[in-house]
A and B are shown apart, each in its own frame.
Chain A
Amino acid sequence: MIKVYTSSVIDAPADAVWARVRDFNGLPQWTPFVVDSRIEEGQPADRIGCVRNFRLRDGGVIRERLLTLSDYDYQCSYSILESPMGVENYVATLKLTPVTEGNRTFAEWWAEFDCAPERAQALAEQIGQGVFQAAFDSLKKVVAR
């Protein structure tokens, strides 16, 4: 089991950041690498169990299932059903916590998954920096006041 943990500080109130990231169908609006996204079977994007189907800039398609969503804890988690990344048992969680000093947001994003051992380090780097940190950097610009 590989574990990846990425965290950052976003200079906007947690409720404003959460309004962006709680939309399970909203990746194209705040990440740099998703071209388009839809929720399968016409489900609402905040219905637990719904599946988002999105396309990356490089053409790859990923399907992910929403596992948990908490407007109380500012937290959601999801699993990968299909992807070109070569990962198994992939579950990720995104969580926001208010930073009272400066009214900012502490954002955490972590994932656990299985993969071929020789690919572990490269995948951890790609997911931690290429996906999570890149998405945080993009989010900072989107919510900038």
Chain B
Amino acid sequence: MIRVRRSAVIDAPLERVWAVLRDFNSHSAWHPAVGPSALERSEPPDQVGCVRDFTLKDGNHIREQLLALSDRDHASTYCILDATLPMRNYVATVQLKRVTDGDRTFWHWESTFDVPRGREREFEHLVGGQVYEAGFAGLAAYLRRGARSAAVLPAVESQGVVAMSFGGPEVLRLRRLEAPAPRSGEVRLRQTAIGVNYIDVYMRKGLYQMIEPPAPIGMEAAGVVVESNAPGLSAGDRVAYACLPPGAYVTMRTLPASQLVLLPDHVDEETAAALMLKGMTAEYLLHRTHRIQAGDTVLVHAAAGGVGLLLCQWARALGARVVGTVSTAAKAELAHANGCEHPIVTQNYSFAARTKQVSGGRGADVIYDGLGREAASENLAALATRGHWVSYGQATGALEPMSLGEKSGTFSQPVLFHYTAESLLPMAGRVFAALRDGTIRPDVRQRYPLAAAADAHRDLEARRTSGQIVLLA
């Protein structure tokens, strides 16, 4: 058990300091190490039992619960529920006392917790220095700043790839746009890398009514904060997002901070742009829509594609037997090298017999289906009894209504943004952790200048690409 104690004197009256600290979700506004933070279930920040879910600027992700709050003693006690750091049984107390001599505030911050043997000094230093002492300085600076005067910023020029109408790649044109000044809770980004996804093609064709041309398309990007009007983010922070509304194919963009994820040092912007939408898609498909168990047979379509490769790598690491469909022998080789034990080369969506064969006649316990209509009958045939058919895309057309009764099957039709709306930070945190430990290995093979987005679409639609595609701004 480690005990960490730090204390300081803040040159402000106790009431001012306590007004900030009694708000359990205020830390992103004043603590220099804390990134975006949200209270779960939208509970008030003085609700004992409320949980704050936040990311540290070093990329770690933490959930903490308020255990006690006393306006009489000016004290608050909280514990860590989950953290990507190896800390256990962490309970901390913050207490303020009045310094009558000079009307200042004495602030005592103390905790006890366990860490793996041999790492005690490292964590004493981390918690005492980078959390508590940095917090003292951060709050003192925050109080000195006072009510931050929101400077009136102008809109700035941005270059963007716009779908001038619905149609082929030729409707994409580079146009001059504007990124408005960030309002309260927003930041303005200079984007450096933009992810290309198949949904962008649907959007451009007008298959998904997501834009009204002329409008910029695109769902994910990474970049650097230029101006911030939101707590938890400041100019120079590296961030990424995958969110609605469309409009990521631009050089400058203004977005709500709640949609952004801080990038840990080990994640570069190109990797983030390639990984936010596809990585979080793989995360929820394998951990949330269906929880993969070791020994499951998993069928992944487009196994050499942007999401497909990540699904193969991650499902394999979770102990699944991975069967995948691809269109060429070269893609089969690539999928195999990425954890797909049984790649099936097929141009006409014929894979059920082989899937049953490699699973001892059982079929697939879970099918990750981005194909849709053309593969529907084969998918039903390939599904194991009591299997789970997860339709997360419909590249060949919308599925017709059908019965899964012959297999006692379960059907899901998940949408990424319904998952990120509730769990953005934990999802991104798990993707970054999987990236760090090598569970997933993005493979950016195609890079295009932003102005050449139409070429990227042509290559994607002609199945000339594999792995992830990024546009560089």
Residues of chain B in range 117-146 having any CB-CB distance to chain A below 8 Å:
128, 133, 136
Chain B residues positioned under 8 Å from A102 (CB to CB): 8-9
Distance in angstroms between the alpha carbons of A136 and B101 in the assembled complex: 9
Identify B106's interface contact among A5, A6, A99, A128, CB under 8 A: A99
User: Residues of B contacting A136 with CB < 8 Å?
Assistant: 101
CB distance from A17 to the nearest CB of B (A): 14
A109 to B108, CA, bound (A): 17
Asked if A101 and B9 make an inter-chain contact with CB atoms under 8 angstroms apart, the answer reads: yes
Distance, CA A102 to CA B9, complexed state (A)? 9
User: What residues on A are CB-neighbors of B100 within 8 Å?
Assistant: 5-8, 128, 133
Interface membership of A97, Cβ < 8 A:
yes
Q: Chain B interface secondary structure, helix, strand, loop or mixed?
A: strand
**Contact between chains at B101 and A100 (CB < 8 Å):** no
Contact indicator A98/B101 (Cβ below 8 Å): no
Inter-chain CA distance A38–B222, complex, in Å, is 75
- Shortest CB–CB separation between residue A101 and chain B, in angstroms? 4
List 28 A–B pairs whose Cβ atoms lie within 8 Å, in order of A's numbering: A5-B98, A5-B100, A6-B100, A6-B101, A7-B97, A7-B106, A8-B101, A9-B99, A9-B101, A9-B104, A97-B7, A97-B108, A98-B7, A99-B8, A99-B9, A100-B6, A100-B8, A100-B128, A101-B8, A101-B136, A102-B9, A106-B9, A106-B99, A106-B106, A108-B97, A128-B100, A133-B101, A136-B101
- Contacting residues, chain B, for A98 (C-beta < 8 A): 5, 7
The answer to whether A101 and B7 have CB atoms under 8 Å apart is: yes
**Complex: A128 Cα to B106 Cα, angstroms:** 18
Residue ID in chain A nearest B5 by CB atoms: A100
- Number of residues on chain B facing chain A (CB within 8 A): 17
Interface size on A (CB < 8 Å)?
A: 17
Q: Give a binary string over A34-57; 1 marks a CB under 8 Å from any B CB, 0 the rest.
A: 000000000000000000000000
Q: For chain A, what secondary structure do more than half of its interface residues adopt (helix, strand, loop), or is it mixed?
A: strand
* Nearest CB on B from A123, distance (A): 17
Shortest C-beta distance, A11 to chain B (Å), equals 11
Partner of A9, one of B5, B106, B128, B133: B106
Contacts of A20 in B (CB 8 A): none
Which residue of B is nearest A98, CB measured?
B7
Residue of B nearest to A10 (CB): B101
Q: Check if A22 is an interface residue, CB within 8 A of chain B.
A: no
Which A residue's beta carbon lies closest to that of B9?
Answer: A9
The answer to the question of A104 belonging to the interface, with a C-beta cut-off of 8 Å to chain B, is yes
Q: Mark A1-20, 1 if CB is under 8 A from B, else 0.
A: 00001111100000000000
B98 proximity list for chain A (CB < 8 A): 5, 7
* Distance, CA A8 to CA B102, complexed state (A): 8
Question: Quick one: closest B residue to A109, CB to CB?
Answer: B100
Q: Which residues of A contact B7 (CB under 8 A)?
A: 97-101, 106
